[in-house]
Amino acid sequence: MRSPWRNVPGRAVRRFGAYGCLDYAGSLAYRSLLALFPGLIALVSVLSLFGQDEDTVLRLLDEAQAVTPEETWSSVRPVLENVLTAPAAGLGLAVGLATTLWTASGYVKTFGRAMNTIYEVEEGRGVVRWNLQMYLLTASLLVLAALGVLSLVVSGPVAAWLGAVVGLREEALSVWAVLRWFLVPLAVILVIVLLYRITPNVRLRPRTWFSPGAVLAIVGAVIASVGLYGYVTWFGRFNATYGALAGIIVLMLWAYLVNAVLLFGAVLDSETERVRQLREGLPAEESLQVTERYTAAVEKRDSQLVRDIRQAREVREAVDDTGSGDGTDTPGKVPGDPVP
């Protein structure tokens, strides 16, 4: 018999289109960019709290410029400099963190709706529980993202301070110089795993914490980023078409590709789970046999739908009993129509 695993890639591609994942990817790209600049304001505020001055921020821009196409960077850097070099302590930190949390939570909620579509379940968490969980998850993801970025730019004073706390100085600087390059991929892995694991309203198997879809998402995001970089650098002529907006267009395109890859990884995981269930004898040919975490909101919506249907039926039956909605005309007849 043909191995059932050979059907997974083709079925994942078809399901990816059937679930409307490209539309979700567009929404996620918009929401991720919406959270970008408030996040940068919060980031520079955190850097200032750690004793990192404006030079640290500019060093971050220089490192980003090294991996960004020149024509894109020429239009993006002025915007970033205006945001990042603005005074950010105190009120800037509070406003930046609050705005980032609100905008980034929109991304997480949209990702959760996409995951529920992929696993073919309804959202069963109530409004309070849903928002609380999504905001807590968003805060955790922002902390991971901030740690990843800070590990690249925070050096000198912070590393020396940490070394002094534990009784190390030069040794701490040497260890940190190597360790920080492992923190970025670790932060990315944890972000993807948390998105895959917590956002859907399903109980996933414990062994799926690090799944084939997560591996594909990480590798695919890297390939998509490198491919877009090469295309924009050597073949693309976005400046000729979009002018000053070329950098923003390229950034939006990058966000769209990365989110599409993330969603395809989730679809791949769902199809992998389908094969596992089929091999266990479960009827998963059409729908996955998954357990929903919460059902209270679904039950509430169903009961409300029943009441709406009953009220609508009462209106229709009242028309049938009286012959018309106002008691004067025959249903389906217009006054003045000839009698057959």
Tens-place pLDDT, residues 132-155:
999 999 988 888 887 777 776 655
Q: CA geometry: angle at 282 spanning 14 and 16, to 5°? A: 15
How many other CB atoms are found less than 10 A from the CB of residue 320? 9
Say if 61 falls within a structural domain: yes
pLDDT above 70 covers what percent of the chain? Answer: 65
Same structural domain for residues 168 and 308?
no
- Indicate whether 195 and 315 sit together in one domain: no
Q: Are residues 26 and 115 in the same domain?
A: yes
Map residue 158 onto helix, strand or coil: helix
**More reliable by pLDDT, 160 or 271:** 271
CA distances from 142 to 1, 92, 188, 316, 332 (A): 47, 17, 11, 53, 59
Q: In this structure, is residue 207 part of a structural domain?
A: yes
Give pLDDT, residue 76: 57
Residue 285 lies in a domain: no
Distance in angstroms (rounded) separating the CA atoms of residues 59 and 55: 6
102: in domain: yes
Q: Is the pLDDT of residue 304 over 90?
A: yes
**Do residues 173 and 112 both lie within one domain?**
yes
Residue 336 lies in a domain: no
Whether 123 and 96 map to the same domain: the answer is yes
Examine the domain organization and report whether 192 and 245 are in the same domain.
Answer: yes
Q: Picking from 37-41, 154-158, 175-179, 228-232, which range would have the lowest pLDDT averaged per residue?
A: 154-158
Based on the domain organization, do 139 and 274 belong to the same domain?
A: yes
Q: Is 333 helix (H, G, I), strand (E, B) or coil?
A: coil
Locate 215 and state its tokens.
């591996």
The pLDDT, as a whole number, for residue 78 is 66
Considering the domain architecture, whether residues 195 and 309 belong to the same structural domain is answered as: no
Domain count, the chain: 2
227 inside domain: yes
The answer to whether residue 176 is domain-embedded is yes
* Among 144-148, 177-181, 214-218, the least confident range: 177-181
* Span of 31-45, 95-109, 315-329 with lowest mean pLDDT: 315-329
Identify the domain containing residue 313 by its residue range.
Answer: 294-324
Residue pair 64/136 in contact (Cβ under 8 Å)? The answer is: no
Pick from 148-157, 212-221, 284-293: least confident: 148-157
Is residue 64, in this structure, part of any structural domain at all? yes
Q: Are residues 228 and 305 in the same domain?
A: no
Contact 63, 153 (CB under 8 A): yes
Given a contact cutoff of 8 angstroms between Cβ atoms, the answer to whether 290 and 121 are in contact is: yes
Asked if 41 and 86 count as a contact pair (C-beta separation under 8 A), the reply is yes
The answer to whether residues 70 and 217 belong to one domain is yes
Same domain, 159 and 301: no
Q: Are residues 267 and 298 in the same domain?
A: no
Does the predicted model carry a pTM greater than 0.75? Answer: yes
For the chain, where are the alpha helices, taking DSSP H only?
8-18, 21-34, 36-49, 54-65, 70-84, 91-118, 127-153, 157-165, 170-198, 212-230, 238-242, 246-279, 296-322
